[in-house]
Amino acid sequence: MNAEVELKLGDINVQSINDSYFEKLKIGVDVLRLDKIHPVVSGNKWFKLKYYLQQAHVKNYSGIATFGGAFSNHIIATAYTCYKLKINCAGFIRGEEPKIYSPTLLDAKALNMQLHFVSREQYRNKQFIIESNPSMFFIPEGGYGMTGAKGAAEIVNLVPVFSKYQYIVCAVGTGTMIAGIANASHTHQKCIGISVMKNNFSLKDELSALVNDAARQRIFLRDEFHFGGYAKYTDELIDFINSVWNKHQFPLDFVYTAKAFYALYQLASKNYFEPSSKILFIHSGGLQGNRSLKNKIHFE
Ligand SMILES: *Cc1c(COP(=O)(O)O)cnc(C)c1O
């Protein structure tokens, strides 16, 4: 297997949000546009995959396998990366095979990922699936783990002056991205993670396992911005996405970044951030997932 991945990284940049709302509150908000990294392998997923691919290479497996749902950003990122590297790959997809494939599954299939549909019950027993496929190198669902966090720590290197921010705000699924960022952060910084899941009681422990003691003190999780749960949304969230696009020409995905950016506004309105502080919002990508919303969102 060839692990020399050279994804041409697109024009990731840091965009300042000029909004009178933030000016009045005397805070500055910049956005790291990881969504621009690549149209398919958008956002944080590439960083989380990177060192897993290296491990698979070193250990000489016959292919890569991983887990995810029918709209998973991780599935599509894995499929694309393996396609580019000419690595066999398999995706174990949660739930029965649908009659009509989601756009994500169609793309993954077109990229030669072998799709295996597993019942929700079987899906919970991942260890059984892993043991049944000993020649495959399994990447945990969502890229969760120390290896994923090691890659995610490199996200901060893309920010020209990372140390000027007092707060880093990002969406949290498995917690791997924020763990990496927190490990790479400075003592004067706080990492605010917006959990996109409802009742994810194990998140704190799972996240804790990925960070050093100092970084743990700098992570602050918020769990009240899930809009009903993972991949759930309300009209208010859709309106928010469209209004952010109209005001700032920056596109949000409804599963992760919209909830996190909405949370940033809400927290700001409650004076959560110290006056005159600078906040870095991580746009972690995921825009492909908006295809499941059909015509509700308009980025044009
Ligand atoms: C996967 C994903 C996240 C969550 O990352 P974790 O490391 O699982 O916390 C956040 N934003 C987007 C767009 C994602 O695709």
Q: What is the pLDDT of residues 135-169, one digit of tens each?
A: 999 999 999 999 999 999 999 999 999 999 999 99
Amino acid 294: pLDDT: 80
Q: Render 148-184 in DSSP notation, one character per residue.
A: HHHHHGGGGGGSTTGGG-SEEEEEESSSHHHHHHHHH
Residue 256 CB–ligand 1 contact under 6 Å: yes
pLDDT for residue 60: 82
| 174 C-beta closer than 6 A to ligand 1 | yes
The pLDDT score that the predictor gives to residue 9 is: 59
Instruction: Say if residue 18's pLDDT is above 80.
Output: yes
- pTM value is 0.95
What's the mean pLDDT in 17-43?
Answer: 92
CA of 44 from ligand 1 middle (Å) equals: 6
Q: Calculate mean pLDDT across residues 1-21.
A: 70
Nearest ligand 1 atom to the CA of 175 is: 9
Structure tokens at 231: 């991949």
286 lines ligand 1 (CB under 6 A): yes
Q: Is the pLDDT of residue 108 over 50?
A: yes
CA-nearest residue, atom 14 of ligand 1 = 286
Centre of ligand 1 to C-alpha 248, Å, is 22
If pLDDT is split at 50, 70 and 90, which confidence band does 4 have?
A: very low
Distance in Å, CA 45 to ligand 1 centroid? 7
Residue 89: is its pLDDT beyond 80? yes
What are the φ/ψ torsions at residue 95 (nearest 5 degrees)?
100, 165
How is the beta sheet containing 28-33 ordered, strand by strand?
A: 14-16, 28-33, 278-283, 167-172, 190-195, 219-222
Task: Give the C-alpha separation, 278 to 120, whole Å.
Answer: 43
Helices within 185-234 (DSSP H only): 203-208, 213-217
Q: Enumerate residues 6+ apart whose C-beta is below 8 A from 294.
A: none
CA 6 remoteness from chain centre: 20
Distance 180 CA to ligand 1 centre (A): 12
State yes or no: pLDDT of 7 exceeds 80: no
Q: How far is the CA of 24 from the centre of ligand 1 (A)?
A: 30
Q: Express each pLDDT in 195-234 by its tens digit.
A: 999 999 999 999 999 999 999 999 999 999 999 999 999 9
Encoded tokens for 84: 């580019």
User: Which pLDDT belongs to residue 6?
Assistant: 52
pLDDT over 70 for what percent of the chain? 96
34, 254, 256: residue to mutate for ligand 1 pocket, most atoms within 8 A of CB: 256
- The arithmetic mean of pLDDT across residues 242-252, rounded, is 94
Ligand 1 closest atom vs CA 171? 10
Asked if residue 203 has its Cβ within 6 Å of ligand 1, the reply is no
Q: Specify the pLDDT at position 2.
A: 39
Q: How far away, in angstroms, is 70 Cα from ligand 1 center?
A: 15
Encode pLDDT of 35-73 as tens digits: 988 878 888 999 999 999 999 887 889 999 999 999 999
193 CB near ligand 1 (under 6 Å): no
How many angstroms does the Cα of residue 129 sit away from the middle of ligand 1?
24
